[in-house]
Amino acid sequence: MVRKKKDPGASGPVAATAVVMVLYITDSGPNSVRAVANLEAICKEHLQDNFRLEIIDVLQYPLRALADGIVVTPSLAKLFPLPTATVVGNLSDKSDVLRALGIVE
């Protein structure tokens, strides 16, 4: 379940290299819905098409999430570039998310 977002009309500081992320959600839970929306907005604004995002529904793939060390949902894992980082929550605080992704506003 990989979605790639591409939006050429983005503005603001952008990541230098492609960012690899995994977002763990639980289907239609309010926090999950909000997290997807928030992340999409951030990507659109700061990453343009320079990212790869995988969204995993924990309800469907619980053992995968368990193996990945996920505790709560929603959780966003940045795998690349290093260092890796994890953000939990519905990603409503944009600046925290950007910092975790290595994008300095």
- Give the interface with other proteins as residue ranges (CB under 8 A): 24-26, 29, 31-32, 34-35, 38, 58-59, 62-63, 65-66, 69-75, 85-94, 96-97, 99-100
For the chain, the first-to-last Cα distance in angstroms comes to: 29
Pairing mode, if any, of strands 75-80 and 19-25? antiparallel
Residue 46 per-residue DSSP state:
H
Q: Which is nearer to other proteins, 7 or 96 (CB)?
A: 96
Rounded to 10 degrees, the C-alpha dihedral 39/29/66/77 comes to: 10
Q: Which is nearer to other proteins, 9 or 51 (CB)?
A: 51
Report in angstroms how near the CB of residue 89 gets to other proteins at its nearest: 4
Report in angstroms how near the CB of residue 93 gets to other proteins at its nearest: 4
